[in-house]
């Protein structure tokens, strides 16, 4: 059982609740804990970063260890939108629509510099960072990010989900770069 | 009338420049008489920053290949080029010769704004219909973006669940 549960149980009460068969916790912690280990991700894969995503999701690096190994290809069943790869202005309405279709609570991960800032595509076709269209909770830089980088990002996202408790707020939105 | 002598074989880098009025005839000749059965690519270049621009701003290129149908080996390659002045249409479409020319011509229209003279209602291939201008022209500002979605409004403050609880009237 996770640390959050055990430490809360004993906290301030003067005695331990660690009686066999009973777990005491705050509701926020319990919900955060349950959510962070059951991430159903929606992979929105558009470009070369997808290769690195596949490598991370495959058995060698194994996203499943973090409870995030189950991609859902319906936004209505997903809670983390993984935007992996360059987002062009042509596909931007689709990305926004998928974000809006996801049920709350939902989190968005910008995977690779193209999604974080537009990367080196400072041109007519590319959205300069998906946080100009949808709120982003976690940025994973790199072109493409190494799988270790992605796993670290995933653990940071889990921390964030744990801390947010029952009512997570949407991530950052940035004014657009025209 | 074109003959085989008009297209001498100079190895893999053979490049042949023809006037626009003859381009369509040359393409038919290459396909039907000389057996260039593969259109590798059809593309264009904006020469407006080059001295060649006075012969026509856009240079259209057809990269052709002749494959032996029995062995699949390459027998010949050739690049046919022609120049098109600004505001003019290109030579008639060659999609009846090589079906893949259709998409290549749409891409040339999309990126450079040069369309085949017999296809006035050609549609964009890569960009969206709402896009104005042709981005690979040298006078298009490269970073000028034409977004389809408006930037998202700042998120609404969440309702505190306590506000939703029924309130006792006299408490
Ligand atoms: S960040 Fe690099 S690897 Fe990832 S989609 Fe962009 S160009 Fe490709």
B81 bridge partner residues: B17, B61
> A20 Cβ partners below 8 Å, 6+ apart?
none
Q: CATH code at B37?
A: 3.30.460.80
Query: Residues enclosing ligand 1, CB less than 6 A?
Result: A 47-49, 85-86, 112-114, 119, 143-144
Residues in chain B: 171
pLDDT in tens, A8-56: 444 444 455 556 666 667 788 888 888 889 899 999 999 999 999 999 9
pLDDT in tens, B124-152: 999 998 899 999 999 998 888 888 887 65
More confident position, A9 or B23: B23
| Model pLDDT, residue A114 | 92
Cis peptide bond upstream of A144, omega within 30? yes
Which of A82, A38, A44, A31 has the alpha carbon at shortest distance from A64? A38
Q: Is residue A73 part of a domain?
A: yes
Q: Hey, whose CA ends up nearest to atom 6 of ligand 1? A: A114
How many CA atoms are closer than 13 Å to the CA of A87, on its beta-carbon side?
29
Average pLDDT over residues A77-105: 91
| Model pLDDT, residue B157 | 57
Least confident of B25-29, B50-54, B102-106, B122-126: B50-54
Pair A90, A148 in one domain: yes
Q: Is residue A24 part of a domain?
A: yes
Q: CATH code at A49?
A: 3.40.50.12280
Could you give the number of structural domains in chain B?
Answer: 1
Pair A26, A80 in one domain: no
Helices (H), A20-177: 27-36, 49-57, 92-101, 113-117, 147-164
Pair A50, A30 in one domain: no
Pair A110, A153 in one domain: yes
More confident position, B124 or A176: B124
Q: Is residue A169 part of a domain?
A: no
Which of A2, A14, A8 has the alpha carbon at shortest distance from A27? A8
Token pair of B153 as six digits: 């409004």
Measured between CB atoms, does B123 come within 8 Å of chain A?
no
Q: Is residue A127 part of a domain?
A: yes
Averaged confidence pLDDT in chain A: 84
Q: Hey, whose CA ends up nearest to atom 3 of ligand 1? A: A144
Q: Is residue A2 part of a domain?
A: yes
| Model pLDDT, residue B155 | 52
Q: Which residues form the domain of B10?
A: 4-163
Q: What are phi and psi of B113, to 5 degrees?
A: 75, 30
More confident position, B1 or A10: B1
Pair A10, A54 in one domain: no
Q: Is residue A7 part of a domain?
A: yes
pLDDT in tens, B63-115: 999 999 899 899 889 999 999 998 889 999 999 999 999 999 999 999 999 99
| Candidate of A43, A55, A86, A141 to mutate for ligand 1, largest count of ligand atoms within 8 Å of Cβ | A86
> A16 Cβ partners below 8 Å, 6+ apart?
A9, A10
* ipTM exceeding cut-off 0.95 for this assembly: no
Q: Which residue has the tokens 């420049």?
A: B17
Q: Is residue B41 part of a domain?
A: yes
Could you give the number of structural domains in chain A?
Answer: 2
Evaluate whether A143 touches A113 at the Cβ level (below 8 Å): yes
Q: Is residue B171 part of a domain?
A: no
Pair A12, A100 in one domain: no
Least confident of A96-105, A168-177, B45-54, B116-125: A168-177
Q: Which residues form the domain of A142?
A: 40-161
| Model pLDDT, residue A67 | 85
Pair A20, A47 in one domain: no
């Amino acid at each position: 059982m996770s640390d959050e549960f055990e430490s809360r149980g004993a906290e301030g009460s003067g005695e331990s609740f660690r009686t066999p068969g009973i777990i005491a916790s705050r509701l926020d912690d319990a919900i955060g804990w349950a959510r962070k280990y059951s991430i159903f991700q929606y992979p929105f894969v558009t470009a070369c970063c997808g290769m690195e995503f596949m490598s991370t999701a495959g058995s060698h690096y194994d996203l499943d260890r973090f409870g995030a190994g189950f991609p859902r290809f319906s936004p209505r069943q997903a809670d983390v939108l993984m935007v992996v790869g360059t987002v062009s202005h042509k596909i931007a309405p689709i990305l926004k629509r998928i974000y809006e279709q996801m049920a709350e609570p939902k989190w968005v991960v910008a995977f690779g510099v193209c999604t974080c800032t537009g990367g080196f595509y400072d041109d007519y076709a590319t959205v300069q960072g998906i946080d100009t269209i949808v709120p982003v909770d976690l940025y994973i830089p790199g072109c493409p990010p190494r799988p270790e980088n992605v796993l670290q990002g995933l653990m940071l996202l889990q921390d964030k989900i744990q801390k947010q408790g029952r009512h997570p707020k949407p991530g950052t939105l940035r004014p657009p770069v025209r | 009338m074109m003959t085989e002598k008009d297209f001498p074989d100079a190895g893999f880098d053979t490049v042949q420049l023809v006037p626009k009025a003859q381009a369509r005839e040359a393409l038919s000749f290459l396909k039907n008489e000389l057996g260039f059965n593969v259109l590798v690519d059809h593309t264009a270049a904006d020469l407006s920053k080059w001295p060649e621009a006075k012969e026509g701003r856009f240079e259209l290129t057809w990269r052709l290949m002749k494959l032996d149908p029995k062995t699949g080996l390459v027998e010949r390659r050739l690049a046919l080029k022609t120049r098109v002045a600004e505001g003019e249409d290109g030579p008639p479409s060659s999609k009846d010769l090589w079906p893949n020319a259709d998409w290549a011509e749409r891409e040339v229209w999309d990126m450079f704004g040069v369309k085949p003279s017999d296809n006035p209602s050609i549609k964009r291939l890569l960009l969206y219909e709402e896009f104005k201008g042709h981005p690979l022209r040298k006078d298009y500002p490269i970073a000028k973006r034409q977004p389809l979605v408006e930037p998202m409004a700042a998120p609404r403050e969440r309702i505190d669940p306590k506000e939703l609880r029924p309130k006792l009237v006299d408490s």
